[in-house]
A and B are shown apart, each in its own frame.
Chain A
Amino acid sequence: MIRPPRLLAAILLGVTVLSAQAQELSIGLSTPVTTMDPHFHNLTPNNSIAKHIFETLVHQDEQQALKPGLAESWRAVDSTTWEIKLRKNVRWHDGTPFTAEDVLSTLKRIPNVPNSPASFAIYMRPIVDAKAADPHTVILKTREAHPLLPNDLATIHIIPKKAEAMSTPDFNSGKAVIGTGPYKFAEYVSGDRVVLTVNDKYWGPKPAFAKVRFRMITNSAARVAALLAGDVQMIEAVPTADIENLRKDKRVSLASVVSNRIIYLHLDSGREKNSPFVTDAAGKPMEANPLRDARVRKAISKLIDRNAIASRIMEGEAKPAGQFLPETFHGTSRKLTPDKYDPEGAKKLLAEAGYPNGFGLTLHTPNNRYVNDEKISQAVAQFLTRGGIPTKVEAMPSAVFFSRGSKLEFSFLLAGWGAGTGENSSPLRSLVSTFDPKLGNGAANRGRFSDAGVDALVQTALTTIDDTKRGIMLAAATEKAVGELMGVIPVHYEVSTWGVRKGLAYKARVDQYTLAHEVKTSK
């Protein structure tokens, strides 16, 4: 019985590994990275890592504005033909030069990755033909006019020609992970870490750190603890509960930005009657579906105190929303503002619509998908209940929620939408366009909102190359779909926050990517 205490002491007092050799950066990630294949699973954590090793033709800055990447320039020759000039003197990590052939190989591989659970083929669907005009020029043909081609290209990571035939396991083992990016692959341990080393021959600005270690710390409180303990120098997705305290903490600083993700409420505006979770005020089943009436939807919107949710539930980590995307994004409306908290106005609207005594609802919500999702729902239910619409909350893990939601089993649900392309057409097309598998519209329209005017505006905008004209159409569609008809009720935009140890600085990104090569030392 003498040994254990001594061993214990040895463990407790053993030499602490120096947390940061000036050369190494440790980052705590919030979601696991599941593969090293940049084309296998289209998921934020995977894409985030891929962006260190591989590059896209078009880059996006921290505000998702497009800027030259592996392509120096791009232009629409005519409405369906694009000419893309590639950067010269770029080399792959193994030393071979980067050419148009690599781009063509990438485009060939993407739709053909076996077993891919979420492929990048959605971004390539408009492309019908790809050719190399010379080693540094690629010509792309689209089926019809497709103004968002550069945005789509910003999601596609270019791999070398020789990797075209490589399998996903080849990438996971590191064998095929050869890119042009600022970092080179060093190690990947599933569920644990990814280690990268700097690419000295990178064509762009040199990263500040020679080595980066990404650690997957999915539990938020543990991630914050790791930052406070100095085990990592940077974390993503700082939980709202800790913001206030961290702001006061001298050891760390925070970087935040209003993200491209909106939290919204979807209402069953499809069913004429017998919506599954609508009852009368006393809780008995009701035949009529009040949610079909735009006035009722507007009333619900007016009952929600968005400022209270943003300040109390989100602790300031949210910005009240009046449309799909913050105004800085292309195609948003300048006119729409968040609906004011107005119980009186709501009462009037409800009476006008024929529901002076209100009715009952159940709000379904995921509880592990968005920041504080279940709590926001509770707060919404709180406001509606007080405003004369007694509302229950039913929370469930997203594994259950999205299946049931897509089967239209709910009447009233909370969800979120991040505009991956960085343009307003993305939510307009998926959330409020009429559900139409042929056109690929309304895929996430779980309330089956439908308005011919909105559809027409969105469809025309999607094929209008002129950015200004397209922007005007998208804004008009938003004003109709959200401002006038309340196809969805916007609640707020999430704020994304990163925490770094003092001495480091990060420019917060609206697309929520955590990019080590953008981390600077602030001394």
Chain B
Amino acid sequence: MIKILIADDHTMFVDGIESILRNETDVELVAKCYDGNSVFNLLKENDIDVLLLDVNLPDISGIDVCKRLRKEYPKLRVLALSMYNEESFISEILKNGASGYILKNTGRAELMKAIQLVHEGQTYFSDAVTQTIMKSMVKGNDSSNKKKKEFPKISRREKEVLQLIIEEFTTQEIANQLFISLKTVESHRSNLLAKLNVRNTAGLVRLTIENNLLDTEKK
């Protein structure tokens, strides 16, 4: 018998889940609550195997609940329930220890399968969720990008500014040449310093030349 706790602020939805689980033989809904803080109280009083956790709770977010539970109840399995099918939520709650992520329009059969798999120590995601994760992996934007390449991509405009900096043009001259304001030139420079992680223009010039940043990018 898998002992279950559900935390979701939508009472009608909780009732719906309850009525489904009541008809099942190998699961038991031990307790239910409608906010994040009650989860901790109920876990103290009951022995729970699987927590059905809504990502979007009124007091503390499901993500933060998950984070705390991982430390206090390492054996507890968390199955995230959510209306959100966005990569940000999925990856956040998975990072914080959830074993599965299902959307709220999941049917009875899928719900039971997810509970069972999670309870056995495996993972489960709704098909739509899997799709979202795949998509963002293909896209591979942001951080994963940084690890692959040594230097982040320098934009067309940044290259133009960088080229002129290396040719020892003054800020005013760069502004005139590119038909942009002094402030815009300064902003490009500051962006370049930040993304190439150098402290000043001298460092910027050195790094660019040493790594042939402009030439390679041009080719």
- Do these two chains interact? no
Interface residues of A (CB under 8 A from B): none
